[in-house]
A and B are shown apart, each in its own frame.
Chain A
Amino acid sequence: MTTTVGIRTKEGAVLAADKRASKGFFVGAKAVQKIFPLDERTAVAIAGQLSDAEYLVNLAKAERRLLALRRGYPLNVRETTKLLSSIIYSAMKSYNPFFVELVVAGVDKEGAHVYTNDMSGALTSEPFMSSGSGSPVAYGVLEQGYKPDMTLDEASRLGEAAVRAAMERDPGSGNGVDVLALGNSLHREVN
């Protein structure tokens, strides 16, 4: 169920997601938050088992805070996604998997990034990514509308359009869209 979308541009990264939580063929909840900030410049869009995803996000938040405190500087987007995939992979290997597909987006020293983490711990990165049951429809819109030199505003609109298209045809997605835009300027050098 769910449709989530992540887009990377020169100006920053965008996350978009619908708001429906399904209980089988029933709409369990109509106003669910599926985009979670990990800090001011990194966020995760979740699809799959809501409880697993929320736990994973809280665990990642705690681990990130601990490491940042210990070493004195925050994790970049790659480190954050690799941390998540390490947790997910070890859970899968101990027959206790997290039923999630995460789209991680953020900005750091190197610019904007979008990654996808699946429940096996596999990690992939492309300029735009989508997850959840509505992703095939969303990908159609993204393939048509994505341009590498988009502004952050254009990317936000494309992300919303992709989720809205998926909501039209996927019964697992609906009830409105959340969009989060992370501009490159959010990243400031820590001294």
Chain B
Amino acid sequence: MASDMGRMPFFYNQEGRLIQVDSALQAVSRGSTTVGLRTKEFAVLSSQVRPTRALLDAAEKIFVVDEHVGATGSGYIGDVNTLIDDVRIAAQRHRLVYDTPIDVGTLSRGLSEFLHTFTMHPVRPFGASVILAGADELGVHLIQVDPSGTTFRGQGFAIGKDADPALEAISQGYRPELTVDEALALTTRAIEAANGGKTQVEHGVVRLGTKRFERLPLSGVVG
């Protein structure tokens, strides 16, 4: 029976799992360590961008989706880019129809539905998880969306390689009254803890007061 599944990887297996989706999650866990953190006042995204080979430029990992929303992802970078483009288009489409910035919940819902369609057909699901950070009428949001379309809302997330120790480090240092600088130090520490030493980290911050998402210059060891 189990050998039959080899030809039908897009159906549920005997345990009721979708192995394609499981494989996609595994692909995410091989990506670079990426974390997000949220308080009532702001949200930060941080991603390790240290080049994997000599002479290589660091890849862009923190993306501006719209004025008030940013995103980061982990997994196959091509897949991440496609997903980021999808949410960017959704954001602009909303502006065209309603003339207002899209709310982060609707944005993540659209992304989740898009990802979900790829679990329903005999195609490869996206090998990428995305963390969205944004501010809207309802406050500050931090949302993780997985290849299955599963959506998580919360105060801290970590995806990619060594996500578990990174999340552990964040939950150890998290306080609701953190400042932006403290939060950035904490996420950097979490990524470094997961990777065993100094590394290059890219950040993005969105604040409730300004409702603007900004990318921050590269920090950490260069080269």
A residues sitting closer than 8 Å to B (CB atoms) are: 67, 70-73, 75-76, 78-79, 82-83, 86
Contacts and interface: CB of A to CB of B under 8 A. Distances in A.
B105 A70 contact: yes
Interface residues of B, number: 11
Nearest to A80: B98
Contacts of B105: 70-72
Prevailing SS type, chain A contact patch: helix
B99 A71 contact: no
Interface of B: 96-100, 103, 105-106, 109, 137-138
A71 B109 CA distance: 9
A86 B97 contact: yes
Contact of B100 (A72, A78, A86): A78
| Residue among B96, B98, B103, B137 having the largest count of chain A Cβ atoms under 10 Å | B98
Given A70-B109, A72-B103, A79-B98, 4 more contacts: A70-B106, A71-B103, A73-B103, A86-B96
Contacts of B106: 67, 70-71
Contacts of A73: 103, 137-138
7 contacts: A71-B138, A72-B105, A73-B137, A78-B99, A79-B99, A82-B97, A86-B96
A75 B137 contact: no
Contacts of A86: 96-98
B98 A75 contact: yes
Contacts of B138: 71-73
Nearest to A86: B97
